[in-house]
């Protein structure tokens, strides 16, 4: 059944508390089983949406979590995520950084390690998108910004984290359905998400002998603050209706895919793999 949302919009990068229809992103009702007991995770883009749900789920499973986010507008979202983590009895830390800057990527890894006492799990989840109606509309500046945030940051953050990741550590990358099949209005975004998949495959091979597993999650449409912050109201109101399930996912529905890859008890034989929670769509290959 198609889920029609009220039209809404807000300034980029968006805030959960400003949404008329907030997403389900706090993993309410989930009972942890200690799958990540004693682990320490850094989640970029962890203030809201998928990042918040993943951060809280990891905490419920016993991990201490540091998050990174972009803008002052998101301060309250970041504070809320940290409060949810601490409510589970876990340590939380939040850092405001623009990860389009390689120095910020290196800095946030150092800050997270200092705050948590080490690092076992890196979740590269930060993303930027801005739909266009044609290739001509896609500016050089936007192309570069999208790549700097969506793929360059993954490289720089991962490279900085390697000094702290030992055997049994995990790197998780957020890809997208758009990286699997493209999108006519998200040309640059889709290109970066395809690059995320190739980076995941390559890192899984190069880090295998170090005992570090690398996997990716490639969701379909997910209701997060990024949607009303980057799409017009008509697109927002019908967002996700193209999926076979007729609706966008809630972040809480996507986060367990990350837990599956993060927990060695469930996925110790997985590296270089992609989970694609895409609402019933089937893809060849």
Write the CATH number for 190: 3.40.50.720
How many residues are recorded in the chain? Answer: 285
Q: Is 11 domain-assigned?
A: no
Kindly report whether the global pTM for this prediction surpasses the value 0.85.
yes
- Each residue of 91-125: pLDDT tens digit? 999 999 999 999 999 999 999 999 999 999 999 99
Which pLDDT score, from 0 to 100, does residue 3 have?
61
Which pLDDT score, from 0 to 100, does residue 156 have?
98
Q: In the chain, which residues have pLDDT < 50?
A: 1
Q: Is 144 domain-assigned?
A: yes
| Number of domains observed in the structure of the chain | 1
Q: Is 283 domain-assigned?
A: no
Q: Which of the residues are catalytic?
A: 189
Its domain, for residue 183, covers 32-222+253-275
* Edge-to-edge strand list for the sheet holding 64-69: 92-96, 64-69, 40-44, 121-124, 170-174, 213-217, 274-275
Which pLDDT score, from 0 to 100, does residue 4 have?
64
Q: Is 4 domain-assigned?
A: no
Q: Is 199 domain-assigned?
A: yes
Which pLDDT score, from 0 to 100, does residue 1 have?
47
Q: Is 21 domain-assigned?
A: no
DSSP string, the chain: ---PPPP----TT--GGG-SS----S-TT----STTTT-EEEEETTTSHHHHHHHHHHHHTT-EEEEEE--GGGHHHHHHHHHHHHTTT--EEEEE--TTSHHHHHHHHHHHHHHHTS-SEEEE--------SSTTTS-HHHHHHHHIIIIIHHHHHHHHHGGG--TT-EEEEE--HHHHH--TT-HHHHHHHHHHHHHHHHHHHHTGGGT-EEEEE----B--THHHHHS-HHHHHTTTTTSTTSSPBPHHHHHHHHHHHH-HHHHTT--S-EE---TT-----
């Amino acid at each position: 059944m198609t889920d029609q949302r009220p039209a809404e919009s807000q300034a980029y990068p968006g805030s959960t508390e400003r949404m008329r229809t907030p997403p389900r992103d706090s993993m309410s009702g989930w009972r942890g089983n200690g799958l990540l007991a004693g682990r320490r995770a850094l989640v970029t883009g962890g203030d809201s949406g998928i990042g918040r749900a993943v951060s809280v789920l990891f905490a419920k499973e016993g991990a201490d979590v540091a998050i990174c986010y972009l803008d002052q507008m998101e301060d309250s979202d970041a504070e809320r995520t940290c409060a949810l983590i601490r409510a589970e009895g876990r340590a939380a830390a939040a850092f405001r950084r623009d990860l389009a800057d390689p120095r910020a990527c290196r800095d946030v890894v150092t800050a997270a390690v200092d705050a948590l006492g080490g690092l076992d799990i890196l979740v590269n989840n930060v993303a930027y998108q801005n739909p266009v109606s044609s290739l001509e509309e896609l500016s050089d500046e936007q192309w570069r910004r999208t790549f700097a945030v969506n793929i360059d940051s993954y490289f720089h953050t991962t490279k900085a984290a390697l000094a702290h990741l030992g055997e049994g550590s995990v790197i998780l990358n957020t890809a997208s359905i758009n990286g699997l099949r493209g999108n006519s209005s998200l040309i640059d975004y889709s290109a970066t998400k395809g690059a995320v998949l190739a980076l995941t495959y390559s890192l899984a091979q190069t880090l295998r002998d170090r005992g570090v597993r690398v996997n990716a999650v490639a969701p379909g449409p997910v209701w997060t603050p990024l949607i009303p912050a980057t799409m017009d109201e008509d697109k927002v109101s019908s967002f996700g209706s193209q999926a076979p399930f007729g609706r966008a996912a809630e972040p809480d529905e996507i986060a367990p895919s990350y837990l599956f890859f993060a927990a060695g008890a469930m996925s110790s034989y997985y590296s270089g793999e992609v989970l694609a929670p895409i609402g019933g769509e089937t893809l060849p290959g």
